[in-house]
Amino acid sequence: MTFQEKTISRQDLEKFLKTLDSDEGIRIDNGTNHIFVNKTSKRYCVDMSTDNKDEFVYKNSAAEVMDFLKDYINQASRIFAY
């Protein structure tokens, strides 16, 4: 199995969230922390990873995830779909 990831823009993030399958995910690198977003059949899981400590937050919609992430995404953030 080959691992492939694709760089996505901040403008396309919500579109990718809405179409996310259970075997896909999104990674956001902010320099000091990493954010991983996955989707189950019922909700989104946002994993906030800082200094090898993980905090999990659950949201019910792509709009809720976007609202939550607005404080964590900046110009230097790199976003990947995998």
Domain ranges of the chain: 6-81
- pLDDT of 81 reads 94
Q: What is the rounded CA–CA span in Å between residue 46 and residue 13?
A: 14
Give residue 33's pLDDT: 87
For residue 82 the two structure tokens come to 């995998």
Taking the C-alpha atoms of 11, 34, 65 and 43 in order, what is their torsion angle to the nearest 10 degrees? 130
Does position 2 have pLDDT exceeding 80, yes or no? no
Tell me which of 4 and 3 has the higher pLDDT: 4
In the block, tokens 């969230």 appear at 17
Do the beta carbons of residue 76 and residue 62 sit within 8 Å?
no
Tens-place pLDDT, residues 6-18: 999 999 999 999 9
- The backbone region for 51, taken as left when phi is positive above 0, alpha when psi lies in -120 to 50, beta otherwise, is left
Between 74 and 56, residue with greater pLDDT = 56
Q: What is the pLDDT of residue 1?
A: 53
